[in-house]
Chain A
């Protein structure tokens, strides 16, 4: 440009124009300066000629130059075509370069925009981000629900019970066990790599997994381990344990001569690492020497692929944690024993309390309405008559602890005969010699009592709850008893006479006086009992005389005694004489003594309510 524009001036010899131009802008002045210098050198007519020939082009060039030099004008020019230019570029199919060129600017612009006001960009992105976030949340929720459903399914199934048992046995939580069982993962590849050379010793691969050459992958894995070790200065002997990209995990277990690397898709349980470590240990145990002296020949390790395949086919199994397995079993056994013992003891207690309840049910005056365990105590509820047996005593007798039992009784009148009987005894207070028997609500007093008490008994007894009637058949009055005894005594007496006589000897007279006193008492008792008694005096004869004589004699003897008793103050209206002759012998005449008994008078007391 210098070589071209230097000598070209607008011409010092074209004064008017120069003046006009000079009056123009400073830029024009700068353009003219070289021309002035040329003029000073005196190039003269040649320049003038050139000016004449090239002036219009020169001016056009100047204008262009001016436009190019002016940033504002250039911006204006570019702005009118920039959109079309980009469009054209895209049509030409070379977007990449343009994108590359624009990317940094756009990135900076975005950063700047966010820095100035994040809301602008957020607003712009809002319609895009909303659905994207929603979709993401939906996906997460769906996968969570899947897991949750699986857990729920497991909770109520045989598998669920197994999981619960396993959780108990292994000390894991139930959720953890179920999650471990429902983990979705796949061990895609397992490599056994010689540590020093980085060469593959074995390789197991899942079906339909695209893989790279194991030699290359093994080598690169070793190289990456070196890289990590060197880059982050890890301690000697430590190696890479895990690499993770997205849902792909590479787990590496380090051994002294070989490493095992598993390529896993998904989330694998920790137990897999144990399996890897165990496999690696086994391999070292089995192939220690070959590994140490490895010369590149992999033939001795041919069988290793099987071990690796087992690692690859790893599925979570219910393996109890090794540590303390024995303790767990022992603890489980103890717990089982304790639980069993406790359950047995509890059953036995329940059984004994139930037996007690049955015994109480059989007791009159007790009604059990409910029983069972409440807050660790055996609670019995029901109704109890005040006179019923004390349940506490039954608890004691059964050898049960009163502290473990609790009674709640409501009061009531029992209508059991036994209770009614007790109630009757308590209320009617029977005198000594009288016992009460209640049968079907009927009170049957037994024994003897005074007429006064007996006569009031029925009225009082009917006031006792449960007694609907009184049967006095078994109750004797004391007076009656005395009367009966006196009657029986009198009737056993015999007043004897001499042979063929109706005269009373002095001794018989004395006896008759005593008889008269007893008869007076007897008649009085009979009157008290309202059973007015009469006395039949029966005369007897032995069978030795003639019948007619005997009839006469026996009548005389009876009359003699009746007369004598009348003399002794007994009312004649109650005395009747009867001659029985030999018809009612007192004794069989098998001896003289007995024959004497038939020469006599006996007595028979008659009263209406005697029996």
Chain B
């Protein structure tokens, strides 16, 4: 059995919890985010014709009031970097988090998920930034926790990167 610890990183209220809520197994309530700072969930994905058990550490979204506990990132094999496509500030935050993560635990496989792509009218993820990130070999996915778009794919891609 292959198991991988992965983390959900992203600014406050970008939809990390919503992303995992419907697509993974969890026994813990969202209240753990604010109490312990993390909520553990599990996602089983198929990769290389075998099952991989992804243990998801949904970290508390860092904001002005509470800092993220970077210790939780220790031992992770990869992470989903999540931003809210309708709030440019969260995109910047995501970039900062990626740098911080690199500093904390070194380079790790990750997938950048720009969430809330269903809110087309408010979409502010500009193509210039995207091109810039693609140039840095980032894997970028536009997802929607609401419609389920690209959620499975995000996990699969991350798994692929981790195993690759």
**Which A residues have a C-beta under 8 Å from some C-beta of B?**
194-200, 212-213, 215-216, 218-220, 223-224, 226-227, 229-230, 295-299
Q: Which residues of A contact B4 (CB under 8 A)?
A: 199, 296
Q: Contact between A226 and B71 (Cβ–Cβ < 8 Å)?
A: yes
Q: Is the CB of A298 within 8 A of B75?
A: no
Known contacts A199-B3, A296-B3, A297-B2; A215 and B42 CB within 8 A of each other: yes
In the bound complex, residues from chain A placing their C-beta under 8 Å from that of B3 are 197, 199-200, 215, 296-298
CB neighbours of A226 from chain B (8 A): 69, 71-72
Q: Does B14 contact A (CB under 8 A)?
A: no
Does residue B155 face the partner (Cβ distance < 8 Å to A)? Answer: no
B31 at the interface (CB under 8 A from A): no
Given contacts A196-B75, A219-B55, contact A213 B25 (CB under 8 A): yes
Closest to A220 in B: B40
CB-CB nearest in chain B for A297: B2
By a CB distance below 8 angstroms, the chain B residues around A213 are: 25, 27, 42
Closest 6 CB pairs of A and B: A197-B75, A196-B75, A219-B40, A197-B5, A296-B4, A223-B38
Query: Are A224 and B36 in contact, with the CB atoms below 8 A?
Result: yes
Q: How large is the interface on B (under 10, 10 to 19, 20 to 34, 35 or more residues)?
A: 20 to 34
Q: Mark B2-28, 1 if CB is under 8 A from A, else 0.
A: 111100000000000000000001111
Cα A195 to Cα B28 in complex, Å, equals 21
Q: How far is the CA of A99 from the CA of B114 in the complex (A)?
A: 43
Report A-chain residues with C-beta under 8 Å of the C-beta of B74: 196
Is B76 interfacial (CB 8 A cutoff)? yes
Q: Please, which residues of chain A bring their CB within 8 A of the CB of B42?
A: 213, 215-216
A223 touches B27 (CB 8 A): no
Please state if B55 and A223 are interface contacts (CB–CB under 8 Å). Answer: no
B150 within 8 A of A: no
User: Could you tell me the distance between the alpha carbons of A541 and B108 in the complex, rounded to whole angstroms?
Assistant: 169
User: A219-B55, A220-B40 given as contacts; is B76 within 8 A of A197 (CB)?
Assistant: yes
Give the residues in chain A near B38, CB-CB below 8 Å: 223
Chain B residues positioned under 8 Å from A196 (CB to CB) = 74-75
Q: Is B77 an interface residue (CB 8 A)?
A: yes
Residues of A within 8 A of B135 (CB): none
Which of A198, A227, A230, A297 contacts B55, CB < 8 Å? A198
A296 to B55, CA, bound (A): 10
**Given A198-B5, A199-B3, A215-B3: A220 touches B69 (CB 8 Å cut-off):** no
CA of A212 to CA of B40, assembled, Å: 12
B79 shortest CB reach to chain A, Å? 13
From 53 to 75 in chain B, residues with beta carbon under 8 angstroms from any chain A beta carbon are 53, 55, 57, 69, 71-72, 74-75
A215-B41 Cα distance, complex, nearest whole Å: 8
Chain A residues with CB under 8 Å of B85's CB are none
Distance in angstroms between the alpha carbons of A216 and B74 in the assembled complex: 16
A213-B25, A215-B42, A216-B41 as given contacts; A223 in contact with B72, CB under 8 Å:
yes
Is there an interface contact between A230 and B71, defined as CB atoms closer than 8 Å?
yes
Cα of A47 to Cα of B1 in the assembled complex, Å: 90
Set of chain B residues within 8 Å of A297, measured between Cβ atoms: 1-3
Residues on the B chain within 8 Å of A299, using CB: 1
A406 CB, min distance to chain B CBs, angstroms: 81
Contact status B36-A227, CB under 8 Å = yes
Q: Which of B32, B55, B71, B76 contacts A215 (CB 8 A)?
A: B55
Cβ–Cβ < 8 Å partners of A230 in chain B = 69, 71
**Besides A219-B57, A224-B36, A297-B2, 17 new A-B residue pairs in contact (Cβ under 8 A), listed by A number:** A194-B75, A197-B3, A197-B55, A198-B5, A198-B75, A199-B5, A212-B27, A213-B27, A215-B53, A216-B25, A216-B27, A216-B40, A216-B42, A220-B36, A226-B71, A296-B2, A296-B5
B77 contacts which chain A residues (CB < 8 A)? 197, 295-296
Residues of B contacting A220 in the complex (Cβ-Cβ under 8 angstroms): 28, 32, 36, 40
Query: When chains A and B are docked, how far (Å) is the Cα of A299 from the Cα of B51?
Result: 13
A219 and B5 contact, CB distance less than 8 A: yes
Q: Closest chain A residue to B44 by CB distance?
A: A215
- Tell me if B37 is interfacial: C-beta within 8 Å of chain A: yes
Q: Are B5 and A223 in contact (CB under 8 A)?
A: no
Given contacts A197-B5, A199-B5, contact A223 B75 (CB under 8 A): no
Assembled-state Cα–Cα distance A230/B74 (Å) = 14
A199 CA to B40 CA in the complex, in Å?
Answer: 11
Pairs A–B under 8 Å by Cβ, sample size 9? A194-B75, A212-B27, A215-B53, A215-B55, A218-B55, A220-B32, A220-B40, A295-B77, A297-B3
Contacts of B1 in A (CB 8 A): 297-299
Complex CA–CA separation, A297 to B84 (angstroms): 34
Closest to A228 in B: B36
Q: Are B37 and A223 in contact (CB under 8 A)?
A: yes
CA distance A229 to B69 in the complex (A): 11
Docked complex Cα distance between A218 and B27 (Å): 12
**Across-interface contacts of A199 in B (CB, < 8 A):** 3-5, 55, 75
Q: From residue B42, how far is it (CB to closest CB) to chain A in Å? A: 5
> How far, in angstroms, from A226 to B2 measured CA to CA in the complex?
24
Q: Which of B4, B5, B27 has the most chain A CB within a 10 Å cutoff?
A: B5
A198–B36 CA distance with the chains assembled, in angstroms? 15
Shortest distance between the CB of B44 and any CB in chain A (Å): 10
A418 to B55, CA, bound (A): 109
Q: Which residues of B contact A223 (CB under 8 A)?
A: 36-38, 40, 57, 72
- CB of B155, distance to nearest CB on chain A (Å): 15
A223's nearest neighbour on chain B, judged by CB, is: B38
Q: How far is the CA of A198 from the CA of B1 in the complex (A)?
A: 15
Once the chains bind, are B55 and A216 in contact (CB under 8 Å)? yes
Separation of A436 and B133 alpha carbons in the complex (Å):
142
Q: Please indicate the chain A residues that have their CB under 8 angstroms from the CB of B40 in the complex.
A: 198, 215-216, 219-220, 223
A198 to B77, CA, bound (A): 12
The residues of A that contact B57 with a CB separation of less than 8 Å are 198, 219, 223
Cβ-defined contact, B2 with A227, below 8 A: no
Minimal Cβ-Cβ distance residue in A for B1: A298
Residue of B nearest to A298 (CB): B1
Tell me, in angstroms, the Cα distance from A200 to B72 when the chains sit together: 16
